[in-house]
Chain A
Amino acid sequence: MKKYTKIIALLLCLAMAVCVFAACKKGGDDTDTTAADTDATVDGTQTAAGTFKIGLIGPLTGGAAIYGNAAKNGAQIAVDEINAKGGIQFEYKAEDDEHDPEKSVNAYNTLVDWGVQVIVGPITTKPAVAVSAEAYADRIFCLTPSASSTDVIDNKDNMFQVCFTDPNQGTASADYIAENFAGKSVAVIYKNDDAYSQGIRDTFVAEAEAKGLTVAYEGTFTDATATDFSVQVNASKSAGAEVVFLPMYYEPASVILKQAADIDYAPVFFGVDGMDGILTMEGFDASLAEGVMLLTPFSADDPDAADFVAAYQEAYNEVPNQFAADGYDAVYIIYEALQAAGCTADMSAADICEKLVAAMPTLTVDGLTGDGMTWDASGAVSKAPMAVVIKDGVYVTP
């Protein structure tokens, strides 16, 4: 090999140059930037005006691509709607982080070079924690649609969330189960390399103990083992659990439901907001989810969401999940906040950040993922989750 080093180096440089060139060329007519040239020519009643650059960071490739793409598409719809309204305009760009904290920081830096003024994201928790420290130092406002860990917002005034923080959901779930299934034994299956799942499990178990529930079995899994749950399901069955609590996203949950059905195990499955979307999975047999209970902020069947669902289906040919709704809401929240704070597009990102941080706690936003969302200065959202049960493939309030 040794003597070909120079050749290889040369070839690599050549390849790279070509690619970079191609990239530049592509960038010119990039369709992703919905640049609105129509500056703020609309009625002068609004104080906020101009074209803001907002950027989204999320996993667009790799194993977690589903979340990033959904949020990206949801945000795109919101951006298009807002740009069509006139007034504040958005120039929007999404960068890929492959669900890797390292790549997420790279994506963030790329957006800063582009001149980003407000960031939507990062979508997933670990990258969000990594980027939050950078954005905090640079004073750039971030509103994450779905990174729910408290680590994302702790001690960082520029970070805000659209989704619930984990502790609330665990407590609410335990309360609900204690009230409605008193005296039954509970099993918990959770994903322990995911701050979201672990966080909910921690508060759930603490609250369950306080309320006198018995947790008969706890099973864990990680990214690497998220395809086979037959052992966890079997163990729950053997432990005699009548309620199985699943604080996780809907993809692994769908496997658990299927494998439980395979061995004729039919406890009450109880999920959290991550469970939402299970009915929209392509190919999922909705009868498996019959009787599943969940706490959710968003439902694609909700009449309020009908317009959004229709627009999303038209553009992307699939039913939006809650990440799409979170992304959509995030853009609208930023829109409202920019107006409330009276920001103009010629302000620097740091100035916008200060104004938005001050404005966020004063806002009340009605979105797809909750009515009357408010924020405290820590960045956590407060909105009420509702408990629903799945009957005949739709959500019903029990």
Chain B
Amino acid sequence: MEFLSYLISGLNLGSVYAIIALGYTMVYGIAKMLNFAHGDVIMVGGFISYYALDAVFKKSGLPFWFSAIIAVVLAMIVCTVLGVLIEGLAYRPLRAAPSLAVLITAIGVSYFLQNSALLICGAQFKTYQSIISGTLNLFGGGLSIPYVSMLTVVVCIVIMVGLTLFTSKTKMGKAMRACSEDKGAAQLMGINVNKTISTTFAIGSALAAIAGVLLCSSFPILKPTTGSMPGIKAFTAAVFGGIGSIPGAFLGGLLLGIIESFAKAYISTQLANTIVFAVLIIVLLVRPAGLLGKYVPEKV
């Protein structure tokens, strides 16, 4: 029973990582850049939905579930616009620049978002009201599963399946894959590379908004640095699963969450992060391109 409850908290955490990692991996696959500001877009999503939920639910008298949906949609819209803006203003001018220059710019954007949030929303931590509350009790109370955990896992699976279908079936999805293979060739085939990359950022940022809502619903502290640590963990998850691979990010996120949970429960809360990272290192030594990543041999 204990084992199951640890597994469930691991799945919950892992699903959040997975959703964030999906955003990371999409952006990486196409723009070939590590978007360190992704974690902070999550934070923005958290704040927007927090204020929106508060305003809509208190002022309009709509039922809570409906207010929650409005808040989530609003957060997604704002984050999408933000993501496209960031891409257009900060990353696009650097498309031809060395990858490290883009990395540093992303870090600059990350600082910018954090400090803007601090100035706008204040330093006071917010307690996030979970968009879904309540608990399912099984075995006469021996096992309790919060509804928010179930929702997180379900949303994560839906997103993963949706993204896989999107990239394999739709025209835009195929354009994305083409861009990730070879930008120059894609352009010659009449694909608008800039538009494709913008779309990728839009999707990634919308996912970040959802991740923000679910992250804060499960772990209800909202502050300007809320997104940093989950961002790093999700980055790890994306690499773990094979960066650029959508099922890989899903698998990496889930495994990471479960390992973290079990490490805390059975080995040491002190060294939970160490164990997670150690597993990552071992996996990468055995499979240098991650669990599901493609190993591309270098051509001479």
Residues of B within 8 A of A318 (CB): 122, 124
Q: How large is the interface on A (under 10, 10 to 19, 20 to 34, 35 or more residues)?
A: 35 or more
Nearest A residue to B233, CB-CB: A224
A228 CA / B229 CA spacing, docked (Å): 12
Question: Given A61-B118, A66-B123, A264-B135, does the pair A283, B6 have CB atoms closer than 8 Å?
Answer: no
Residues of B within 8 A of A252 (CB): 221
- The listed residue (A62, A65, A235, A262) touching B148 by CB distance below 8 A is A262
* Stretch of B70-78, B85-93, B205-213, B266-274 that contacts chain A: B266-274
A52 CA / B123 CA spacing, docked (Å): 29
Residue B167, interface by CB 8 Å: no
Nearest A residue to B228, CB-CB: A63
* Contact B265 A231, beta carbon cutoff 8 Å: yes
* Contact A65 B123, beta carbon cutoff 8 Å: yes
Closest beta carbon of chain B to A250's beta carbon, Å: 9
Interface string of A235-262 (1 = CB under 8 A from B): 1001000000000000110110011001
* Stretch of B125-133, B187-195, B285-293 that contacts chain A: B125-133
Interface string of B214-249 (1 = CB under 8 A from A): 000011111111100110000000000000000000
* Contact A232 B269, beta carbon cutoff 8 Å: yes
- The listed residue (A68, A219, A263, A284) touching B5 by CB distance below 8 A is A263
* Contact A221 B265, beta carbon cutoff 8 Å: no
Residue B200, interface by CB 8 Å: no
Nearest B residue to A227, CB-CB: B219
Residues of B within 8 A of A264 (CB): 135, 137, 141, 144
Residues of B within 8 A of A214 (CB): none
Residues facing B in A59-97 (CB within 8 A) are: 60-63, 65-66, 68-70
Tally A-B pairs: CB < 8 A. Answer: 112
A235 CA / B272 CA spacing, docked (Å): 15
- Looking at A222, A282, A284, the one whose CB has the most chain B CB atoms below 10 A away is A282
Residues of A within 8 A of B135 (CB): 262-264
A283 CA / B124 CA spacing, docked (Å): 11
Residue A220, interface by CB 8 Å: yes
Nearest B residue to A189, CB-CB: B269
* Contact A192 B115, beta carbon cutoff 8 Å: no
Residue B182, interface by CB 8 Å: no
- The listed residue (B127, B137, B261) touching A230 by CB distance below 8 A is B261
Residue A137, interface by CB 8 Å: no
A263 CA / B142 CA spacing, docked (Å): 10
Closest beta carbon of chain B to A211's beta carbon, Å: 26
* Contact B225 A262, beta carbon cutoff 8 Å: no
Residue A1, interface by CB 8 Å: yes
Residues of B within 8 A of A39 (CB): none
Residue A36, interface by CB 8 Å: no
* Contact A221 B115, beta carbon cutoff 8 Å: no
Question: Given A1-B98, A65-B224, does the pair A228, B118 have CB atoms closer than 8 Å?
Answer: no
Residue A225, interface by CB 8 Å: yes
- Looking at B141, B226, B264, the one whose CB has the most chain A CB atoms below 10 A away is B264
Residues of B within 8 A of A234 (CB): 2, 5-6, 9, 265
Nearest A residue to B2, CB-CB: A238
Closest beta carbon of chain B to A358's beta carbon, Å: 37
Closest beta carbon of chain B to A281's beta carbon, Å: 5
A91 CA / B126 CA spacing, docked (Å): 32
* Contact A281 B144, beta carbon cutoff 8 Å: no
Question: Given A62-B225, A63-B223, A264-B141, does the pair A254, B9 have CB atoms closer than 8 Å?
Answer: no
Nearest B residue to A252, CB-CB: B221
Question: Given A1-B98, A251-B221, A283-B54, does the pair A230, B125 have CB atoms closer than 8 Å?
Answer: no
Residue B146, interface by CB 8 Å: yes
Residues of B within 8 A of A227 (CB): 219, 221, 226, 229-230
- The listed residue (A61, A68, A219) touching B269 by CB distance below 8 A is A219
Residues of A within 8 A of B24 (CB): none
Residues of A within 8 A of B196 (CB): none
Question: Given A220-B269, A238-B2, A283-B127, does the pair A231, B229 have CB atoms closer than 8 Å?
Answer: no
* Contact A285 B270, beta carbon cutoff 8 Å: no
Residues of A within 8 A of B80 (CB): none
Residue B50, interface by CB 8 Å: yes
Residues of A within 8 A of B12 (CB): 230
Residues of B within 8 A of A259 (CB): 219
* Contact A66 B125, beta carbon cutoff 8 Å: yes
Interface string of A354-367 (1 = CB under 8 A from B): 00000000000000
* Contact A69 B123, beta carbon cutoff 8 Å: yes
* Contact A282 B126, beta carbon cutoff 8 Å: yes
* Contact B13 A262, beta carbon cutoff 8 Å: no
Residues of B within 8 A of A228 (CB): 9, 13, 218-219
Residues of A within 8 A of B219 (CB): 227-228, 255, 259
A258 CA / B127 CA spacing, docked (Å): 10
Nearest B residue to A221, CB-CB: B269
Residues of B within 8 A of A255 (CB): 219-221
* Contact B146 A262, beta carbon cutoff 8 Å: yes
Residues facing A in B102-156 (CB within 8 A) are: 115, 118, 122-130, 135, 137, 141, 144, 146, 148
A283 CA / B49 CA spacing, docked (Å): 12
A285 CA / B9 CA spacing, docked (Å): 22
* Contact A65 B118, beta carbon cutoff 8 Å: yes
* Contact A283 B128, beta carbon cutoff 8 Å: yes
Question: Given A251-B221, A254-B220, does the pair A61, B144 have CB atoms closer than 8 Å?
Answer: no
Nearest A residue to B8, CB-CB: A230
Residues of B within 8 A of A224 (CB): 229, 273
Residues of B within 8 A of A258 (CB): 127, 130, 220
Closest beta carbon of chain B to A285's beta carbon, Å: 7
Residues of A within 8 A of B1 (CB): 238
A5 CA / B115 CA spacing, docked (Å): 29
Closest beta carbon of chain A to B14's beta carbon, Å: 11
Q: Which residues of B contact A (CB under 8 A)?
A: 1-2, 5-6, 9, 12-13, 50, 54, 98, 115, 118, 122-130, 135, 137, 141, 144, 146, 148, 218-226, 229-230, 261, 264-265, 269-270, 272-273
Q: List 9 other contacts, CB 8 Å, given A265-B144, A283-B129.
A: A61-B118, A224-B273, A226-B221, A228-B13, A259-B219, A262-B135, A281-B127, A282-B126, A283-B128
A-B contact pairs, 15 of them (CB 8 A): A66-B125, A70-B123, A225-B264, A227-B219, A227-B229, A227-B230, A231-B264, A234-B9, A262-B135, A263-B135, A264-B137, A264-B144, A265-B144, A282-B124, A283-B54
